[in-house]
Amino acid sequence: MEKKFILPEKINQLDEDGLKHGYWEYYWENGNLESKGNFLNNLKDGYWEYYYSNGNLFQKGTYINGKENGYWEEYWENGKLRSKGNYNNGEENGVWEYYFDNGKLWSKGNYVNGYQNGYCEYCN
């Protein structure tokens, strides 16, 4: 039986014009992963994850043409959820929720084109 080897995916590649393209990873000085995701024509595109230098997840979400789009989550360094909501073309849109570092809800409000609009509730 012939052995098959799976080569690791190429990362951090530039195209013939010197533009970032494909899957990229960045690392903290301590060797831990800082972020990972894809580029298309030098712009972030698709799903990305960001990490604190201790290795805990900081943020995750999707880019289209270098701007945040769709559902995003951000976390405190202790791993608890910090915020969640949707972006449209890099701006907050729809209901966003923000949390204290103990996981308790701090506020919830509606955003349009990056600005708070209408409903907003602060919690204790």
18 lies in some domain: no
Asked if 83 and 97 touch (Cβ cutoff 8 Å), the reply is yes
| CATH code assigned at 63 | 2.20.110.10
6 lies in some domain: no
**Which tokens belong to 110?**
């509606």
12 lies in some domain: no
**Domain tally for the chain?**
1
* Domain range enclosing 68: 23-122
41 lies in some domain: yes
- Rounded CA separation 2/21 (Å): 33
Quick one: which of 56, 52, 120 has its CA closest to 85?
Answer: 120
Give me the mean pLDDT over the 88-93 stretch: 97
Give me the mean pLDDT over the 102-106 stretch: 95
**pTM to 2 decimal places:** 0.87
How does pLDDT run across 1-11, given as a tens digit for each residue?
Answer: 454 444 445 78
**pLDDT range class, residue 106, cuts 50, 70, 90:** very high
51 lies in some domain: yes
pLDDT at residue 124, rounded to an integer: 61
14 lies in some domain: no
9 lies in some domain: no
Residue 46 — left, alpha, or beta (φ > 0 → left; ψ -120 to 50 → alpha)? left
> Residue 45: which H helix or E strand, with range?
none
Count of C-beta atoms within a 10 Å radius of residue 48 = 19
5 lies in some domain: no
pLDDT at residue 9, rounded to an integer: 59
Quick one: which of 52, 26, 29 has its CA closest to 37?
Answer: 26
